[in-house]
Amino acid sequence: MQPTDFSRYLTNFLSKYLPAERGSSQNTIVAYRDTFVLLINFMESIGTKINKLTVKELSRESILNFLDWIQKERKGSDLTRNARLAAIHSFFKYLQYQHPENLHQYQQILSIPMKKAEQKAMNYLSIEAITLLLQQPDLTTRKGRRDLALLSLMYDTGSRVQEIIDLTPLCVRLDKPATIKVTGKGNKTRIIPMLDGQVNLLKNYMKENKLDVPCANMYPLFFNVRGEKLTRAGINYILEKYADRAAMKNAKIIPKQISCHCLRHSKAMHLLQAGVNLVYIRDILGHVSVTTTEIYARADSRKKREAIEAAYVEIALKETPSWIKNDNLLEWLSSL
């Protein structure tokens, strides 16, 4: 069977261009791969077999139909649609320079706009809620001690869930000044300081699981019963389990919908409310620009109220406006 141009270009895009030329992370490559798996499935569902799928078959119309299928059939959100479209855009930008013979077709696809996604209100926990959540693991069990070390580290460092998954004992420095090295989006690393309470939790956890010896340096820091690193679904399950327990004790302060990113948002908001400069919060979270970090300042209603109160100047009216004293509003308006 003769391979098609699409199979050849896609293989080079995922296995050579993204990792070698763009320096994309493994997570990005996997996300892009999943997009094209869905696209291939969609094209097969409308009658184009994978062994006959060519670049020419991928017209602007077929891509728009695919994006509609993502939302209507698979119930994807606008954000999901935009993520799939970003992967497709990246592929056709690659084709523009590598194989420009169909440039007009590529540019038609590149002109498909992103959808303006609805900005949801930021979901974060109060300090009281975080305290209650971290009181739920059963510290008489090995798993409970692991879960406390995991959740407290996620909150204290404001790390993304994938960053926690990828941690190894080599990333942890327990001697003063205690720090943890996190690798984030685009393979960018950052060093985050740790406070004494977190250091003690990690030290005890690593000692109990024999992760404090040199031969364990490249093992996953947090792992399941098979010794494999935890998955996103696994960590979400752990968080939701303890959130449910916390809600049974105080449902008012625990939101019904909670995610691992909620802990990251919570840490950022608590740092902001404590008066920490946005520049330092940006560095802790690993944002490229402080503009991204400003979403926390915009979301913090307490800070807004304090700013308004600080700028408030009381104005005493020496005389009641005439329109207030006049019962006949029309009469007053006509006198103007």
Whether the pLDDT of residue 308 is over 50: the answer is no
Average pLDDT over residues 87-96: 95
Whether the CB-CB separation of 88 and 39 falls below 8 Å is answered with: yes
Asked whether residue 86 is assigned to any structural domain, the reply reads yes
| Encoded amino acid at 179, one letter | T
Closest to 25 (Cα-Cα) out of 162, 153, 157, 154: 162
**Which residue range forms the structural domain that includes residue 31?**
5-110
Asked whether residue 332 is assigned to any structural domain, the reply reads no
- 96 and 145: one domain? no
Asked whether residue 291 is assigned to any structural domain, the reply reads yes
The pLDDT confidence band at residue 304, using thresholds 50, 70 and 90, is: very low
Asked whether residue 327 is assigned to any structural domain, the reply reads no
Bridge partners of residue 190, in order along the sequence: 182
Query: Which tokens sit at 269?
Result: 């908001």
* CATH number (domain holding residue 190): 1.10.443.10
* CATH number (domain holding residue 106): 1.10.150
- 161 and 297: one domain? yes
Residue 183 CA to residue 185 CA, distance in Å, equals: 7
- 133 and 100: one domain? no
pLDDT, tens digit, 9 for 90 and up, residues 105-153: 999 999 999 988 766 666 888 999 999 999 999 999 999 999 999 999 9
Burial call 248-259: b when 16+ CB within 10 Å, e when fewer: eeeeebbeeebb
Residues labelled catalytic: 160, 185, 261, 264, 287, 296
Asked whether residue 200 is assigned to any structural domain, the reply reads yes
Whether the CB-CB separation of 303 and 273 falls below 8 Å is answered with: yes
Whether the CB-CB separation of 224 and 85 falls below 8 Å is answered with: no
- The 3-state DSSP class for residue 223 equals strand
- 96 and 146: one domain? no
The domain boundary residue, chosen from 110, 135, 164: 110
Asked whether residue 335 is assigned to any structural domain, the reply reads no
CB contact set of 264 (below 8 Å; sequence gap of 6+):
154, 158, 159, 160, 285
Domains held by the chain: number:
2
Least confident among 21-35, 110-124, 299-313, 320-334 = 299-313
Asked whether residue 268 is assigned to any structural domain, the reply reads yes
Asked whether residue 57 is assigned to any structural domain, the reply reads yes
